[in-house]
Structure 1
């Protein structure tokens, strides 16, 4: 079993403590500034409505290694929104990691007109150092993956409208990815067009959502069901013609006040000739991006959250996933297991934005992740 260096884990723990300490200091300064010229009750109301978090966020996962992201996340106020409405968030960030990966990105996740309209905008540009493990359960590259650098541009807007049924939404999503792959010349060669020249994928998808969660940042009760059917092709600005379906189903159950149980089911389905980096894959913490790829995938996982102190939560999680070339073969494919445990700290005040560390075990590999927000809602 491959276990990360104790020094790396120690550095991550120290960085987590630094992020928590800096945020607490920033929150204290913010509270003092807002209190000038206001009475105590007004200052408290402002502090609960909106919150700006600017912190260095450690990065750790088996895809890009260990590094740092400098992020600014703004949680918008909900003064005019109805009670229980989701929190709009905006953010920018810059990432640099130990394997020379870097990324610049920005996003906005907005909820408008008492949650009658939802708008999401996200984009990024950077270079990621990745590995290609091949496709299928018996790929010869699984134990000797091809290393490559991927210079990528990503842009994805989504617009949803509430239906005449409570908690149901319907809308469209556009996805664009432009990528130029540069394989490591010392590694094994792979005859794929994605490694020969710059390629692009672009598609328009129909999105249906059912969302009864009590929070979009750190839920403790409710259901999130999301189904997307996307058509990719030259008519949308891409080089590949294929269809992709994605289904995500997550439920949150508050057993007692400090204890929450979550489970999630995922399915991804490809029809046509998709590039390898947009194939279906197992969606579990513990596996690097692209570890298991094929035309279809299914994943099931569960997580237990126990709030031990006011702002501290312990987690334990686990699950399994399968990939197959056809849906009929999913039932007989081998199951890939992953699991682990972690800790979270709430840096978002009443908005409950949590950051923390997960330690995972998958394929006899121990990995360390740094998490921001609710991973199971992504």
Structure 2
């Protein structure tokens, strides 16, 4: 059986990518502007939003275009956020004072609508308890999602099944900095109420009737993470390594009992001054009896989300960025992944591949933020993606 992961994948990935963008801002926003805001950089007079961002007084309304094929190929989101600056960490290392910037507290909301009548509203807060060295994220939403899933039946092969899923998720996450390092460890909790209804081909009704239900998932886990990238938006060097293990259990109030493991790594290295290479390794595993919308899936450019799924998946991607001018960059990327039910099936499962190209523009030089468009081709379709910062953003 090949189905989906959880409530937040691609369209929320876009939102969290923007959150990462906001988390890099270390300039005070609370003072009123004392001069006319310019949309041109003082160095090269090119279009640049750095000064506008700095003088935003803590409020930034962010429009965003959704291009995920599985959600109709086009949609829009509006994400108003409020930002409060945090003081930095002051650490004594080998008798010397080390000052480490701290991301600001961010509070915001979101409204989403796509061409296949998927819509969502929600709110979130991401912040840091500076004295305790603790990062936290709180989020909640209501989503009405229309999406197809795929299952292989014994006598008729693989079939597409269209579902409407009404989802109420709540996410809580916290992690503490370890030993004045770039390592963090903590917990994550997910509450999710899902009402699933089949809306596809009527000839499939009897086969999928058992998948129509209203259930609650209550899932608690632990995480560990390293992040030493030089830039959280468009890195030139460093890596981010993450692993978490979660358990949904009746003791927590869940209607399902299962385990989920999630691990990934993003690594960056500058080959020559104008070319940067990035490598991604990503995998997920589910044990027990999760519902079909909590199963792992292959998440790569050029492949619709939830198209290739199973009890486990593993994928890797390589990308090259060529900064051929101060402002403009060209992208080249490709990757391969597998989704399967048992590791014994790994050798017999076909690789799913995708590749593509794109461009980036340095939109905010003072924050090293590049934005652009990627065009990718997978086994079934062409797709395009509007990218803020990096496409890899969990």
Shift of the 177–351 alpha-carbon distance from structure 1 to 2, 3 Å rule, reads farther
8 A contact 1:72–1:92 mirrored in 2? yes
Q: Which among 203, 214, 229 is matched to residue 219 of structure 2?
A: 203
Residue matched to 1:324: 340
Q: How far apart are 1:92 and its partner, in Å?
A: 2.4
Deviations along 1:312-352, one digit per CA (max 9) or x if unpaired, are 43322110001222123223321000121223344455234
**CA pair 103-277 structure 1, distance change in 2 beyond 3 A:** same
Q: Aligned Cα RMSD in Å?
A: 3.2
Q: Which has the higher contact order (CA 8 A, sep 6+)?
A: 2
Q: 1:287 to 1:228 in 2, by over 3 A?
A: same
Aligned partner of 2:268 in structure 1 is: 252
* CA deviation after TM superposition for structure 1 residue 307, in Å: 3.0
- Confirm or deny that 1:157 pairs with 2:165: no
Matched residue of 1:203: which SS?
A: strand
- Aligned twin of 1:58: 65
Residue by residue over 1:299-321, the C-alpha shift from the partner in whole angstroms, topping out at 9 and shown as x without a partner, is 11111223344444332211000
The structure with the largest helix share of the pair is 1
After alignment, is 76-85 or 359-368 more displaced?
Answer: 76-85
- Partner of 1:134 in structure 2? 151
Answer yes or no: is the 8 Å Cα contact 2:189–2:219 preserved in 1.
Answer: yes
Query: Structure 1: any 5+ residue segments left out of the alignment?
Result: 1-29, 38-42
**C-alpha distance in 1 between matches for 2:103 and 2:228:** 14
What are structure 2's unaligned runs of at least 5 residues? Answer: 1-28, 37-49, 91-98
Preserved contact between residue 180 and residue 197 of structure 1 (Cα < 8 Å): yes
Q: How many residues align?
A: 342
Q: Does 1:335 align with 2:351?
A: yes
TM-score, normalised by the number of residues in structure 2: 0.77
Q: Distance in 2 between matches of 1:369 and 1:242?
A: 33
- Tell me, yes or no, if structure 1 residue 314 matches structure 2 residue 330: yes
- Could you state the TM-score of these two structures normalised by the residue count of structure 1? 0.80
Equivalent residue number for residue 78 of structure 2: 70
Q: CA deviation at 1:47?
A: 2.5
> In the aligned structure 2, how far is the partner of 1:166 from the partner of 1:52?
31
Q: CA separation in 2, counterparts of 1:194 and 1:33?
A: 58
- Give CA deviations for 1:159-182 in whole Å, capped at 9, x if unaligned: 001122622211100012211122
Deviations for 1:65-91, whole angstroms, at most 9, x for unmatched residues?
211112234565455456553534444
SS at match of 2:354: strand
- For residues 83 and 276 of structure 2, the distance between their equivalents in structure 1, rounded to whole angstroms, comes to 24
Residue by residue over 1:224-245, the C-alpha shift from the partner in whole angstroms, topping out at 9 and shown as x without a partner, is 1111110012222321100111
| Alpha-carbon spacing, 1:46–1:134, altered in 2? closer, same or farther (3 Å) | closer
Query: Aligned equivalents of 1:92 and 1:86: distance in 2?
Result: 22
User: Does the Cα contact within 8 Å between 2:87 and 2:102 map onto a contact in 1?
Assistant: no
